[in-house]
Amino acid sequence: MTPEELHELAQAHLEADKKLSHCLFVCGAAACLAARSDAVIEAFQAAVKARGLEESVAVKNAGCMGLCALGPLVRVEPAGVLYQQVTPEDAGAILDGLGGPPVERLVCPTDVPFYQRQFNIVLENSGHIDSESLDDYVARGGYAALAKALTAMTPGQVVDEVTTSGLRGRGGGGYRTGLKWSTVAKAPGQKKYVICNADEGDPGAFMDRSVLESDPHRVLEGMAIAAYAVGANEGYIYVRAEYPLAIKRLADAIRKAQRAGVLGNAIMGTTFSFQVDLRLGAGAFVCGEETALISSIEGKRGTPRPRPPYPAEFGLWGRPTLINNVETFANVPAIVRNGGHWFASIGTEKSAGTKVFALAGRVVNTGLIEVPMGITLREIIYDIGGGIPEGRKFKAVQTGGPSGGCIPQQYLDMPVDYESLAQVGSIMGSGGMIVMDETSCMVDVARFFMDFCRTESCGRCVPCRVGTTHMHTLLTRITDGSATLDDLALLEELCEMVKQTSLCGLGQTAPNPVISTLRYFRDEYLAHIVEKRCPAGVCRMTRAPKEVAV
């Protein structure tokens, strides 16, 4: 498929859609599927057939529409009506109301902060296209950025555009994407690789999964542009096997893209070739670390190795390798289409663009959101998130998963960007955001994340393998009321030791939840140790407090 043929395909699909009176987009992402959206799709298809509306009404299996708490969601176009908590029994009423007043009892307002305060770049297609349709993706500008890069830009110009954009890696560290790309591009060697890190393992995180389920071609296009820019002709998507729907849609998207000539050999009639394959991870959290991920793809045990050398110079099978995560690649097509300066104008000076978050925990509107960098935590939690349910008080928000920290109430008006989060002892991470209220015990929260880290440690280095286990033991003693102040001092000492001496990022950041809760909620630790009580009433004290002589 040449760029001209790509344009013709887009126009033909748009003309075909104009002949439809209505299009029903039913969320088919994992959250809504769990609420029987597959049965809703089948009900709509049967009702359309029964009414003889096949020529005028289309039912499409769309991606995530964000407000997961109210799924299954159904969007009706061109009316722009969004329905919530739709059941198979509602299909007939919705179809009968097409062209007239909507079914009021099912309407989900879209003129609310949850939708109005978002800015979609990565998620611009999610919920607006059939997730499994190449034609739908192309009709909304899909693969146009790849065509532009291959026919109107040199590899160096693509790298420069990404550098100008200020895009930083969305996988956690926030490393400058343009700098990473230029390093791989300059690395000597004829064989180079591009890897998409889709090994999303943070508790409460589902950003990458949702993007892969909703808009897989966008990630493939971003990878192809990156491969062209750095001189690679082979790529891998490393995705955890616990994401069967994402894997299915990725595999389908790869096949369709190859048949259409936008992946594979001589892409779009040029001399550029790029092959993509899937590699399934077994769910090891440590394989989110890039050197462990590389080892896993090579068929070895997923354990990290010391750096340098970095993968940009010595990566997959010893060749220069570019590794970015799902969200990073999903930003690339928009940057190439609209220009680096456009992307840099969004967000803040040092943290450009938007960020996708999985908003979870004790918040009214749980779901997937995309917001400009620099928005405050208060705006995310109270405006977009709808606040804390049941009239309870906000206590903390955990960002960055097991590698992040718990941010207390006094920082609610802090802008969400890489620098600000680091200043308060947390990180951006891949985008998990777990809200906690007064019913959460912060010592128990720290214990939960430490249990996760010790379980997920690969065991290669002693500080991580042994240190996290001892830290979990101490936290358990604190929560059951058997700890002393000496144990608290030892816990703090271990935090610093594990952080400073662990081999990879898992161990180096594992103490962060403990450090941040000690920093902001030390009184809860002291209440457990000295008073033998849990202020939140979560921990079951097994040792009674000592009587104090009067």
Half-sphere exposure of 291 (CA within 13 A, CB side): 17
Q: Is the pLDDT of residue 173 over 50?
A: yes
Per DSSP, helices labelled H in 416-550 are 418-423, 442-456, 462-479, 485-501, 505-509, 512-520, 522-529
Going from the C-alpha of 55 to that of each of 95, 100, 132, 211, the distances in angstroms are 14, 19, 20, 30
Q: Is the pLDDT of residue 128 over 50?
A: yes
Instruction: Provide the 3-class DSSP secondary structure of residue 26.
Output: strand
d(CA 475, CA 523): 15
**Is there a contact between 406 and 521 (Cβ–Cβ < 8 Å)?**
yes
Mean pLDDT of 277-302: 92
Mean pLDDT of 297-317: 92
What rounded mean pLDDT belongs to the chain? Answer: 93
Q: Is the pLDDT of residue 296 over 80?
A: yes
Residue 492's Cβ-count burial label (10 Å; 0-12, 13-18, 19+) is middle
Q: Is the pLDDT of residue 167 over 80?
A: yes
Report residue 28 CA to chain centroid gap.
Answer: 17
Render pLDDT for 360-399 as a digit per residue (tens, 0 to 9).
999 999 999 999 999 999 999 999 999 999 999 999 999 9
d(CA 475, CA 472): 5
d(CA 515, CA 534): 19
- Residue 542: per-residue pLDDT: 67
d(CA 256, CA 249): 10
Mean pLDDT of 294-299: 95
What is the residue whose two structure tokens read 């909703």? Answer: 214
Closest CA to 471 of 457, 265, 458: 457
- Residue 543: per-residue pLDDT: 58
Specify the range with the lowest mean pLDDT, choosing from 101-105, 118-122, 503-507: 503-507
Structure token pair of residue 184: 């791989």
Closest CA to 301 of 277, 275, 317, 282: 282
In sequence order, the 6+-apart residues with CB closer than 8 A to the CB of 461 are 501, 502, 503, 504, 507
Q: Is the pLDDT of residue 546 over 80?
A: no
Closest CA to 171 of 144, 134, 202, 128: 202
In this structure, the strands spanning 193-198 and 234-240 are parallel
Mean pLDDT of 274-289: 91
**Is there a contact between 415 and 424 (Cβ–Cβ < 8 Å)?**
no
In order of their start, the domains of the chain are: 18-110 (3.40.30.10), 141-344 (3.40.50.11540), 354-436 (3.10.20.600), 442-529 (1.20.1440.230)
d(CA 541, CA 285): 31
Render pLDDT for 139-158 as a digit per residue (tens, 0 to 9).
999 999 999 999 999 999 99
Mean pLDDT of 110-118: 93
Render pLDDT for 407-433 as a digit per residue (tens, 0 to 9).
999 999 999 999 999 999 998 888 889
Q: Going along 33-131, which residue ranges are E strands?
A: 57-62, 74-77, 81-83
As beta bridge partners, residue 194 has 235, 322
Q: pTM surpassing 0.75?
A: yes
Structure token pair of residue 518: 């000690």
Which run of H or E residues covers position 406?
strand 405-408
d(CA 381, CA 395): 12
d(CA 94, CA 107): 10
Using H for helix, E for strand and C for coil, what is the string for 197-222? EECCCCCCCCHHHHHHHHCHHHHHHH
Going from the C-alpha of 117 to that of each of 27, 110, 120, 362, 377, the distances in angstroms are 21, 11, 10, 20, 13
DSSP per position, 279-322: EEE-S-GGGGSHHHHHHHHTTS------SSSPTTTS-GGGS-EE
d(CA 327, CA 329): 5
Question: Longest Cα pair distance anywhere in the chain, in angstroms?
Answer: 89
Structure token pair of residue 258: 């190859």
Mean pLDDT of 179-184: 97
- Residue 550: per-residue pLDDT: 33
Q: To the nearest 10°, report the CA torsion of 212, 218, 222, 224.
A: 100
What is the residue whose two structure tokens read 């936008």? Answer: 262
Q: Is the pLDDT of residue 165 over 50?
A: yes
